[in-house]
Amino acid sequence: MTQVLYVVLGVVAGICGGMFGIGGGAILIPALVFIFGLTQHQAQGTTLAILVPPIGLLAALRYYQSGNVKLSIAAFVCIGFFVGGLIGANIVHNFSDVLLKRMFGVFFLLVSLQMIFSK
């Protein structure tokens, strides 16, 4: 069941990536920390492993060497992210520029409040 949730996270991150050009730091890291209980280092390392080709190979390798990459999570989220990116890219073309800017801003406001006020 957990693997299904990882794929769902990947789909959501992929949709946001396709719609807003974001996904890694803005979606995956907070979700892995607040929903799945990873440490900040593990979340960052695992996210780099998800986004490795070609973005963060050397950085992900360094996190992996430090024991901060959860490959079992990265593989399943990557599957969802792949599909979600296509979905998001298709959806976003139905929104006006103004609406897209507002959605983007509200999303980051909510994430920033969570990051600021959580333990």
Q: What is the pLDDT of residue 63?
A: 85
The domain in which residue 93 lies consists of 2-117
All residue ranges of the chain with pLDDT < 50 are: none
Q: What is the pLDDT of residue 55?
A: 63
Q: What is the pLDDT of residue 53?
A: 65
List Cβ<8 Å contacts ≥24 apart for 91-98.
91/15, 91/18, 91/19, 92/18, 92/19, 92/20, 95/19
How distant, in Å, are the alpha carbons of 27, 50, 70, 90 from that of 46? 13, 6, 5, 27
Q: What is the pLDDT of residue 25?
A: 76
Q: What is the pLDDT of residue 66?
A: 93
Q: What is the pLDDT of residue 41?
A: 87
Task: Please count the structural domains in the chain.
Answer: 1
